[in-house]
Structure 1
Amino acid sequence: MRADPHIVATWVRGWTLARETTPPTPYKGGLRVDVGWPEQKARYVFPAVVPAIGELASTINEPWVFLKACASPDAMQPILTTGWAIQRPGYMMTLAGSMGDFERPEGYALDVIEGPISIVRALDPAGEAAAIGRVVVVDGFAIYDRIETRPEHRRRGLARAVMKALETIGREQGAVRGVLVATPEGRALYESLGWELHLSLIHI
């Protein structure tokens, strides 16, 4: 299987908008993002294993620069030099339809901020954020980012409620398809909401 380069590039563009970093720039079949964070200076993202990954692995000698590719660990390992380690994979997922309707869990309120970066928070009875998520729309794709639920509030349907509110915002802003990268733990949740796996995203 091979990732769709357009979907990967769209996700990267959305990620940079949601994280308010500099826009991505093309780099030898992939994209480079100058993130500028203390623990992530830059990241390179590729839709497949390409020679540029091996070149970067052999020439980068500074910390906090990450290489990411839609590929299996077995495909990536042979081109890596000493000092690089494969991290937990992410799962690039897409949604063509709707996630359905979900009731907001009793006792929680949704706080919605719409804009170029739309934010939905589920607030507990004390007004504290129990769950949060963000969405940006790029070329008809809703890019979901940083969907999080505090541990003590999990398994109550908050993530579903937040995701549905974000989906509604995305559709109002012209999105017809969704894209996100899930953690191994989050993959099962998104699959239960109708999301489909596009490809694994390997982080090194």
Structure 2
Amino acid sequence: MNAKVSHDILEKWLTAWSLSRKLPLPVKYKSGFKVEVGEEQQKERYVFSELNEDFIELSQQIEEPWIYLKVCNSRDEINKVVPEKWKIQPPGYMMSCFGSMKTYDSHLCAGYKIEYEEYNSTTAIKIMNQSGELASIGRIVLVDDLAVYDRIVTEEIHQRKGLATFLMRELEKIALSKGVYHNFLVATEEGKALYESIGWKLYSDYTSIVI
């Protein structure tokens, strides 16, 4: 069952998302938020905590390609109300872990080392192999009482070695060191199972549409 995503949580998550990607911070747009992304295939994104008239009205007004509308609702609900010009993207899942993750005593697989990078209130942790090749990377951004995990990626040839679980544990240590126990992220279908295995729970569906 989806929780209702508060305006406050959405703003903190989107602020962290923007900081992680070195983008302008979100600005209020009616009952939602807008971020100027500036990429060729994602010019802007509008994000809403619920399916409402502001979202529907925007979906009717926009004709330009590569502007994303995002909302904390299921694909089926969105599909019923938006014009056919919009393409519904693969499902996303807002997930939370309010407390410690169940990562047990995971150790870094032999032959790998970790590196840290800090910028914009963001800490990026990289796991490299002995030849300096990037195997896994993830970022954490602390916004007030919320720890947001972003862009957790393990390269295919380095998967199934426990790197992602180890990485999540190392990112969590940063949050815990600051006394932050509310963890939040948006997962893909593929990532959802990993996060559930270490104690995360579905908070809300998260649907994206684009022309």
TM-score, normalising length from structure 2? 0.92
Aligned match of 2:189: 184
Aligned match of 2:113: 109
In 2, distance between residues paired with 1:12 and 1:177?
A: 15
User: 1:173 Cα deviation (Å)?
Assistant: 3.4
Map 1:1-204 onto structure 2 (within 5 A): 1=2, 2-99=4-101, 100=103, 101-115=105-119, 116-204=121-209
**Secondary structure class of the residue paired with 1:57:** helix
Confirm or deny: 8 A CA contact 1:53 1:79 kept in the other structure. Answer: no
In 1, distance between residues paired with 2:160 and 2:50?
A: 35
Confirm or deny: 8 A CA contact 2:100 2:181 kept in the other structure. Answer: no
Confirm or deny: 8 A CA contact 1:137 1:174 kept in the other structure. Answer: no
Q: Comparing 87-96 with 69-78, which one deviates more in the overlay?
A: 69-78
In 1, distance between residues paired with 2:29 and 2:52?
A: 11
**Secondary structure class of the residue paired with 2:141:** strand
Q: Comparing 113-122 with 25-34, which one deviates more in the overlay?
A: 113-122
In 2, distance between residues paired with 1:79 and 1:159?
A: 37
User: 1:155 Cα deviation (Å)?
Assistant: 0.7
In 1, distance between residues paired with 2:89 and 2:38?
A: 21
In 1, distance between residues paired with 2:205 and 2:150?
A: 17
Confirm or deny: 8 A CA contact 2:33 2:48 kept in the other structure. Answer: yes
> What whole-Å deviation, never above 9, does each CA across 1:48-95 have from its counterpart, x for those lacking one?
101111111111111110001111122212221121011111110011
In 2, distance between residues paired with 1:134 and 1:190?
A: 15
Supply the AA of the counterpart residue of 1:136. V
Higher relative strand content: 2
User: 1:109 Cα deviation (Å)?
Assistant: 1.0
User: 1:97 Cα deviation (Å)?
Assistant: 1.4
Paired positions, count: 204
Confirm or deny: 8 A CA contact 2:43 2:66 kept in the other structure. Answer: yes
**Secondary structure class of the residue paired with 1:42:** strand
- What RMSD over aligned residues (CA atoms) do the two structures have, in Å? 1.3
User: 1:188 Cα deviation (Å)?
Assistant: 0.3
In 2, distance between residues paired with 1:114 and 1:62?
A: 36
User: 1:161 Cα deviation (Å)?
Assistant: 1.1
Supply the AA of the counterpart residue of 1:123. M
TM-score, normalising length from structure 1? 0.95
Confirm or deny: 8 A CA contact 1:141 1:179 kept in the other structure. Answer: yes
User: 1:6 Cα deviation (Å)?
Assistant: 2.2
Confirm or deny: 8 A CA contact 2:32 2:49 kept in the other structure. Answer: yes
Alignment gaps of 5+ in structure 1? none
Following superposition, which runs of at least 4 residues in structure 1 exceed 6 angstroms of deviation?
none
